Structure 1
Amino acid sequence: MHIIALSLNYKQASVEDREKVTFQDSEVVEALHALRDQKSVLEATLLSTCNRTELYVVSDQEHTGAYYTRKFLADWFGVDYERIKNMTELKVQDDAVRHLFNVTAGLDSIVLGETQILGQIRDAFLRAQEEHTTGTIFNKLFKEAITVAKRGHSETDISKNAVSMSYAAVELAKRIFQNVKESKVLVIGAGEMAEESLLNLTSNGIEDLVVINRSIEKAEKLSQKFNGRADSLANLEKELKSADIVISSTSSTDFVIDKEMMDRVNETRNGSPLILIDIAMPRDIDPAIESCDNVYMYNVDDLQGLVDSNLETREQEAEKIKAMIDGSTAEFEDWLQVQGVVPVIQAMRKKALQIHSDTFESLERKLPEMSERERTVVSKHMKSIINQMLRDPIIFTKEIAGDKNRDDKLEDIQAMFHIEEEVKAQRLEADQKQRQKLRARKEELRLNW
């Protein structure tokens, strides 16, 4: 079995490209089943957020599974296959497992060590599990990824320090306002910095959010992702009158908030404090505003020291989590390799029990005078003999799970015990059970739709 991770994220793809390859909540269930139905795909999980789209599959053929996973993404969004190939990152086996662990722990996020992705991964897995598009391998893998991420965040200080301008801006606001959750926050701009700011704000429980942008359409699109409200730049002065915190990150070459605007706004605020955090370059907020009463301004230079010192701290803490991930990856690979030999061991045991049953029935026919106690004693000793005979072959079979010649040796074992058909039956039974669950779920969805 091959584990494949196909990732389209902020490292490989622009905002425009990510927008084109983002699943809406309403289509995720349908997409999950479509992905699971691709050739060579046996299990499937799908994650789609504002910063990344991730497809995870278990496939019986590495190259075929990788091709059809990419093709699914290209076909679903009507994007050229080669373009999907260029804008995505493909990882298999150990690398795919480690990638999932890193993503879940927030080590692959824009904000190093952020925790929101952990909840998103958990929700994506639970949805796939509910839809029966996961099986033995992903049920184990995703639970392990979630466990490692939780352990990493609880046993290190990675979540405690700001590491980006937008994150530092939010951390600064938290230090100034005792109850920042009740604050009204204006986010000016609709680019990546604005989106990252909103991510950090919502992660801290802030709900009163207004996205302001020259393009109201872009403002609305971004605000909807975070359950906020949108307004146009033309209404900025009105929104400033009731705001507590402003984070500005536009690409404007002129001041978005100038001294004259702030003077007019201040006349209506009755002395209420206003925090202005300018993370744009060039600056969005007129430096002359510093002279305004009850207005507190911070820019990139003010935040840089906080970011630099805390990034080093987070990177040190991230190394601790990476060590945990290395250990968990190795443990999962050991478990996965053993899964490949399980049907062989089950077939050996099943055949041995059948031999026991047939032999005991023959013995009962030849010795009908046996008492119930004698039958019990004889049956128990026969089982003991069989278990002792199987002990070494089973141990040997388990030990070759990680052998590079595992498949050849497993074939030899099957031929030696003459259990080829039994092994096929074991694998077929497991596959049929999974397919029955899928068919039942699809029928349920069909009736609901």
Structure 2
Amino acid sequence: MADETFILLGLNHKTTPVEVRERVALSGGYEEPLARLRKLPGCRESYLLSTCNRVEIVVVAAYSPEVEESLIRFLFGNDIEISQCREYVYIYSGKDAAHHLFSVAASLDSLVVGEAQILGQLKEAYRYATESHCTGPLLNRLLHKSFSVAKRIRTETGIGSSAVSISSAAVELARKIFGNLTDKHVLLVGAGEMAELAAQHLVGQGVQSVTVANRTLSRAVDLAQQFDGKAVSFEELVIQLEKADIIISSTGAPNVILKKEQVKPVMRVRRNKPLFFIDIAVPRDLDPEMNDLENVFLYDIDDLSQVVEMNRSERDREAAKATRIVDEEAIKFQRWYEGMALTPTIMELRNRANEICQAELTKTLSRMTELSDKERRSIEKMASAITGKMLHGPLMFLKNEGCQGRDTTQEKVETVRQVFGLETGADSEERG
């Protein structure tokens, strides 16, 4: 249908509190909601994405208040006023819908800009949509384009290369000191939340082992099990330094728990093998003077915060590049889509002109029996050239990119169809 477009309706961490997002999240998987979405009146193609931070629907349909309301009802159910729902949702159509989807795929709309998880979630949701026969040629093109836009941004920018959380900054520093972390041993001192997150990031980098030291041994045992590691008593802390490479400390102690004098003999035993301390405690757990020891690297929460801020500024610069790429790709996609709308009219216009030309040629040549074959071919060639030159103006009018926008394209199509007496879209469908 000529008046169909992409419609995207959703809610996310920016627009909607978590208690509302929990109500609309797909706790039971994609199959059942996709089956319901496929049955919505007027929605010829459909796609559904649900993550902890967003739920979004994309459909191909003719935009109308009824379609919009049915999509809102799909998300929130029938037991809530539509006006209440509208304060949480955002709605985009046409080029704006494509632009938003490209931004989501590129993680520009994520809680942490540059994170890589969202692209995998988009692809998984697309797999379910195709298996449920919800998508068609238009949505397939749009979604595949969103994947390629995300890939281009990862290739051409450094949007995902800088750590923007305390725990990921700690891992980034560890990699700068050690390079490969796969043979490194981590000692977790205390059970603070940020230290635990840092340990999770390090395990994700493939560290060899994790040991947990805590004043309460049972808590150390519980935490060590999360990392398939081992627990030790707090009194064993200094001994454990001989084997560890990375120490993350986050206790609730009111004073320093490890001093320079305790670490210095450990470095002799280690033959000055590098030792990396991450002090995430407030007040600090570790003696700042440890930094004076050779091959001892100590970073506290302020140091990590500075790294995060520097990285955030760098990521913001890369995000600006990524946004420019999204803008460019959305324009290109819109031109492709407008071309799809123009193609049937261009074909009909050419067919109508050729039919008229052939009919008049047949009528004229049937009365000119004395013409030679060469003369006949010359007249046919001349008639074809006249037809082509007559069509040049209307075709340039349709294809002209000086006026952008779906509505402008549709208006041009309707104008040409009326001027040249072409059938309306509905008439064409009935005839086909």
* Equivalent residue, structure 2, for 1:415: 418
Q: 1:5 to 1:197 in 2, by over 3 A?
A: farther
Q: How does 1:237-386 map to 2 (within 5 A)?
A: 238-239=224-225, 243=229, 261-263=233-235, 271-273=243-245, 275-276=247-248, 278=250, 288-290=256-258, 296-299=277-280, 300-356=301-357, 382-386=383-387
* Equivalent residue, structure 2, for 1:236: 222
Q: How does 1:43-442 map to 2 (within 5 A)?
A: 43-75=45-77, 84-125=85-126, 128=129, 132-175=133-176, 178-180=179-181, 235-236=221-222, 238-239=224-225, 243=229, 261-263=233-235, 271-273=243-245, 275-276=247-248, 278=250, 288-290=256-258, 296-299=277-280, 300-356=301-357, 382-399=383-400, 402=404, 407-421=410-424, 423-424=425-426
Offset of 1:417 from its aligned partner? 1.7
Offset of 1:315 from its aligned partner? 0.8
Matched residue count: 387
1:427 and 1:194 map into 2 onto residues whose CA distance is: 62
Q: 1:164 to 1:240 in 2, by over 3 A?
A: closer
**3-state DSSP of counterpart to 1:154:** helix
Contact 2:184 2:244 in 1 (8 A): no
1:364-386: CA deviations, max 9, x gaps? 87789999988877666544443
1:259-303: CA deviations, max 9, x gaps? x9433688789834453265xxxx668875545877834313342
* Equivalent residue, structure 2, for 1:250: none
After the TM superposition, which of the residue ranges 410-419 and 359-368 deviates more from structure 2?
Answer: 359-368
Offset of 1:391 from its aligned partner? 1.9
**3-state DSSP of counterpart to 1:8:** strand
* Equivalent residue, structure 2, for 1:446: none
Offset of 1:312 from its aligned partner? 0.9
1:233 and 1:351 map into 2 onto residues whose CA distance is: 82
Which has more radius of gyration? 2
1:177-226: CA deviations, max 9, x gaps? 6444677999999999989997x679x6659999x9xxxxxxxxxxxxxx
5, 8, 12: which is aligned to 2:8?
Answer: 5
**3-state DSSP of counterpart to 2:160:** helix
* Equivalent residue, structure 2, for 1:35: 37
Contact 2:167 2:194 in 1 (8 A): no
**3-state DSSP of counterpart to 1:161:** coil
1:353-402: CA deviations, max 9, x gaps? 44456556667877899999888776665444433322211111233863
1:192 and 1:68 map into 2 onto residues whose CA distance is: 43
Contact 2:167 2:197 in 1 (8 A): no
1:190 and 1:327 map into 2 onto residues whose CA distance is: 45
Q: 1:402 to 1:309 in 2, by over 3 A?
A: closer
* Equivalent residue, structure 1, for 2:267: none
Contact 1:169 1:277 in 2 (8 A): no
**3-state DSSP of counterpart to 2:277:** strand
2:48 and 2:414 map into 1 onto residues whose CA distance is: 35
Counterpart of 1:321 in structure 2: which amino acid? A
Q: 1:62 to 1:182 in 2, by over 3 A?
A: farther
After the TM superposition, which of the residue ranges 179-188 and 119-128 deviates more from structure 2?
Answer: 179-188
Offset of 1:2 from its aligned partner? 3.9
Q: CA RMSD in A?
A: 4.8
* Equivalent residue, structure 1, for 2:291: none
1:66 and 1:178 map into 2 onto residues whose CA distance is: 52
Q: 1:364 to 1:180 in 2, by over 3 A?
A: farther
TM-score (norm 1): 0.66
Contact 2:25 2:50 in 1 (8 A): yes
Contact 1:15 1:192 in 2 (8 A): no
Once the two structures are aligned, what percentage of the paired residues are identical?
A: 29
Contact 2:345 2:413 in 1 (8 A): yes
1:17 and 1:185 map into 2 onto residues whose CA distance is: 39
2:422 and 2:13 map into 1 onto residues whose CA distance is: 50
